A and B are shown apart, each in its own frame.
Chain A
Amino acid sequence: MANIDSDARLDLQTPVPAPSYRRREAARAMRSLVASRWALVGLIVLLVAVFVAVFGPWLAPFDPNRQNIMARLLPPGAEGQGGAVYWLGSDHLGRDVLSRLLYGARVSLTVGIASILVGGTIGTLLGLVSGYFRGWVDDVIMRLGDIQLAFPFILLAIMFLVVLGPGLMNIILVLGIGQWITYARIVRAQTLSLREKEYVEAARAMGDGTASILFRTILPNIVAPLTVIASFNVASVILSEAALSFLGLGVPPDVPTWGSMLSESRDHLLSNKWWMAVFPGLAIVFVVLAFNIIGDWLRDFLDPRLKERG
């Protein structure tokens, strides 16, 4: 009897928690966030980035694509005609660097988050199916993943994008599909162990359908590790997007991105137009760093056992 009791108590932890438990968890998260100052800084940086991405058009002092031959390559803080100030300087076509930077946040964050949604959704679905049904379905899905992993990802992206041509949708799809296997592997491993748990057995005995078991019983219990992976993943996808834009494979040329700004800055290094290279790079570093720090914090918070291992 005692045995059953302790099992029941253990399993109370695993199904979706009650609202009051959630509130307590949220409070604990807040306290932990404030305690680890870096995570708080990371969160603030992210909030600023999101704010800029949403309200960029209203914040930008100039139209990011407006060219002005009279205002080419102005250093930061220079005044243009009519007293307009180029706070971060202007580029080789006389476009305002600050305005382009603000618009660029939109592309970076959209691509980062949308790709993760695409890759995360595909990977989670395939991982659930793989781990729950096992057998040949599992074999096929996992071998496909092996093939993909045996291929340096950025090369794969280059090959597809060069044929498909630039475009926001194309880059989101290519980067998203590049990520699915990461999620599929984790979800599969978790599902393999969860499917043997008593509460999954119970759901099955109660006559729940497969879909209900997968999405209502198993999935909510895998969300924590997925969130951690997703946070690191957004960081690496933003880096990939910047690299692809740098190569001229990202979004169309009339959309300002941090990567393409850096690509353009290359031709003006020798004449020491440093502001064209420094600011877009710093923007990328801040956002990527913020996601990485938040990822670290989430991992420690959701799984304190890992903290010891740094």
Chain B
Amino acid sequence: MWTFLIRRLWQSLIVIIGVTLISFISLQMGGDPTYLFVSENASAEEIQRAREALGFDAPLHIQYLTYIWNAAHLDFGNSLSYRQPAMGVVLEAMPATIELTFFSLVLAIALSIPLGIYSALKRGTPADGAIMTFAMLGQSIPNFWMGIMMIMFFGLYLGWLPISGHVPFLEPLFEGNFAEAFGNLPGSLYYMIMPAIAVGSYTLARNARLIRSSMLEVLSQDFVRTARSKGIRERQVIVHHALRNAWLPVVTMIGLEFGFLLGGVVVVETVFSYPGIGRLVFNAINQRDIPVVQASVILLALVFIALNLIVDLIYSRLDPRVKL
């Protein structure tokens, strides 16, 4: 267990160094990076001052070491539009993004498991065909377009669901204000329904297909036949024998799924004017506020790496065959 943990932590550290190297390279791609950190109408002196302050007059390797040093202190420079540390701005938007990502993942998994199982059990029937057609569509519809269509239909035409806005849940929770947090929860979920469906649709579709195919494979195996021949009820066979094995590949995918979801969140938040990192990145892109873009991307990458580490640890618990 400990050797596994240490090895995985070591791997994560290498990945984090890789991430900082890539983001450092991306800064250097456009020539002198100083121009990315000053406003467009800065005077020559201001630019020179910024260059010295940011250390861009030093040799590249020194610059990189400075970059890592600063990154380790979560210092990505000041936001050009907010005029305060970029990381602070990003951290403020973080809870809303975590709420949305988590909710859409839960939604996607909760729906994909029954759909996948049902499809596998009813293989070849019209029900199976319909579910798989929807799954194919879910994998082909751009999430932000799905968001726009839902806004038009459920938001504007039917008037059932709010088309923008957000009720905070994690923020009061972190502040220790539990009553407010859980009082906000229903409203929070209500505002997240459409964005979460848009973000989670791809994952839902892919997992439903994955569960169906892995269920079909497991159902044809000897231990399922044995269980059936022992006279165990079909329901029991499916839940306790088949599903336990069928959903392992799904768990493996969940770690990678976070990456898709985080990417999807960035775009979908913009559609729903949802106040998370995605909308922040969108505005920062349009204002060329590079420090905020960098801080957001690196923070999301760190979250992704940490989540993958956690998923790996959980996976090894679920599947005793995986040795730690």
Contact = CB atoms under 8 A, between A and B. Distances in A.
Interface string B284-302: 0110101001100100110
A262 B151 CA distance: 13
A87 to B, nearest CB: 21
A152 B30 contact: no
A293 interface: yes
Interface stretch (A128-136, A222-230, A240-248): A240-248
Given A147-B19, A242-B142, A285-B142, A162 B285 contact: yes
B254 interface: no
B79 interface: no
Interface in B237-290: 256, 258-260, 262-263, 266-267, 270-271, 281-282, 285-286, 288, 290
Contacts of A137: none
Most buried by A among B136, B140, B266: B140
B22 A274 contact: no
B301 A266 contact: no
Given A164-B30, A247-B267, A277-B149, A269 B304 contact: no
Interface stretch (A27-35, A119-127, A153-161): A153-161
A265 B148 CA distance: 9
Interface string B147-186: 0110110001000000100000000000000000000000
Given A284-B142, A310-B216, A270 B156 contact: yes
A163 B297 contact: no
Nearest to A155: B297
B285 A158 contact: yes
Interface of A: 143-144, 146-156, 158-160, 162-165, 235, 239, 242-243, 246-249, 259, 262, 265-266, 269-270, 272, 274, 277-278, 280-281, 284-285, 288-289, 292-293, 296, 308-310
Contacts of B156: 269-270, 272
Contacts of A249: 285
B62 to A, nearest CB: 21
Given A309-B217, A310-B132, A156 B152 contact: no
Given A162-B293, A284-B145, A155 B300 contact: yes
Contacts of B267: 154, 243, 246-247
B145 A248 contact: no
B107 interface: no
Contacts of A274: 152
Contact of A150 (B145, B213, B282, B305): B305
A154 B168 CA distance: 26
Given A152-B304, A247-B270, A158 B281 contact: yes
Contacts, number: 155
Given A159-B23, A262-B148, A288-B140, A310 B209 contact: yes
A159 B294 contact: yes
A60 to B, nearest CB: 22
B137 interface: yes
Contact of B144 (A147, A162, A235, A262): A262
Closest 4 pairs between A and B when the two form their complex, measured CB to CB:
A154-B263, A147-B18, A281-B145, A152-B259
Given A235-B139, A246-B142, 16 more contacts: A150-B12, A152-B263, A155-B262, A158-B293, A159-B294, A163-B36, A164-B30, A247-B270, A248-B282, A259-B142, A262-B142, A269-B148, A270-B156, A277-B149, A292-B140, A309-B216
Contacts of A284: 142, 145
Interface in B199-213: 209, 212-213
A289 B293 contact: no
Nearest to A280: B145
B232 interface: no
B47 interface: no
12 contacts: A155-B263, A155-B301, A159-B23, A162-B290, A246-B270, A248-B282, A262-B142, A277-B152, A278-B149, A281-B142, A281-B148, A308-B216
